[in-house]
């Protein structure tokens, strides 16, 4: 067993473009995964995703060969343990603001002696006990991404990013805009200056960095800045925009 997304991200010579699913639907997640993205983000923070529907979405995406990144709802050790036992190897955790929080997340995702992840062997991650190498390889296969989403977190960017066991950081412009006093202005000039500052500092210390793009134009902008991975849009937004465009097209031809 291995972690294809970790291998891809750590060894890629070029940027990665991801899809993002928020419908909490295995069928939609599977359809997104067939679209050709480098990987798919399965979002449990701003969606009705449950542990069972997360499991089903991971199974659906796995059938396509496209790697999946699970964005958890919070920093709960219980939630981390449950999703890892369900087979999640690549995790993105929101609202990391300090080195202490980053270290706590590393500890929660690793078995002893590197951490204190709760131990079980009979689960999907170990192929229900049939993978005899699981306990030897599980710690190495984890990919952990810390989201930096506030000015306070930006002050600690290097401390968070250089915590051993944090593989990459991710800038969330939506929460960043709200924390800066500009809610809903993820593409605003002030937020984009923060995005530029973040990628410059990440490159200076040799850490992979990603950023969420609200639209294709923003994605191209982030890639031009030097971001290593950029999810663009999400399934709900894509469907809503396409539905609206189709309706306007029909009504415009009446």
Distances, alpha carbon 36 to alpha carbons 31, 64, 110, 192, in Å = 10, 10, 31, 27
Strands (E) in the chain, as ranges, are: 16-21, 39-43, 68-71, 90-93, 143-148, 168-171, 208-211, 229-231
Query: Which run of H or E residues covers position 240?
Result: helix 235-252
Q: How far is CA 23 from CA 45, 55, 205, 229, 239, in A?
A: 12, 14, 36, 22, 10
For the chain, how many helices (H) and strands (E)?
12, 8
**Burial of residue 123, with CB atoms counted within 10 A of its CB: 0-12 exposed, 13-18 middle, 19 or more buried:** middle
**Contact yes or no for 201/242 (Cβ under 8 A):** no
Q: How many angstroms separate the first and last alpha carbons of the chain?
A: 57
Residues labelled as active-site residues? 46
Instruction: Look at the alpha carbons of 126, 129, 130, 132 in this order and tell me if their dihedral is positive or negative.
Output: positive
């Amino acid at each position: 067993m291995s972690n294809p997304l970790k291998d891809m991200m750590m060894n890629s010579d070029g940027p990665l473009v991801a899809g993002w699913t928020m419908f909490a639907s295995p069928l939609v997640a599977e359809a997104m995964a067939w679209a050709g993205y480098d990987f798919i983000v399965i979002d449990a923070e701003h969606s009705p995703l449950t542990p069972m529907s997360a499991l089903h979405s991971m199974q659906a995406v796995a059938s396509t060969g496209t790697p999946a990144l699970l964005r958890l709802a919070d920093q709960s050790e219980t939630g981390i343990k449950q999703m890892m036992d369900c087979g999640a190897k690549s995790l993105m955790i929101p609202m990391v603001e300090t080195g202490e929080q980053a270290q706590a997340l590393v500890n929660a995702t690793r078995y002893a002696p590197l951490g204190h992840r709760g131990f079980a062997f009979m689960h999907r991650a170990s192929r229900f006990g049939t993978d005899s190498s699981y306990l030897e390889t599980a710690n190495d296969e984890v990919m952990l991404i810390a989201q930096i989403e506030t000015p306070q977190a930006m002050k600690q960017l290097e401390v968070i990013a250089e915590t051993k066991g944090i593989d990459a950081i991710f800038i969330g412009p939506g929460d960043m805009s709200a924390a800066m006093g500009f809610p809903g202005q993820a593409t605003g000039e002030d937020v984009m200056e923060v995005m530029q500052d973040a990628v410059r500092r990440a490159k200076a210390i040799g850490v992979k960095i990603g950023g969420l793009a609200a639209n294709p134009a923003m994605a191209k902008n982030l890639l031009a800045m030097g971001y290593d991975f950029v999810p663009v849009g999400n399934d709900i937004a894509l469907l809503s925009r396409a539905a609206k465009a189709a309706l306007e097209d029909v009504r415009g031809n009446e």
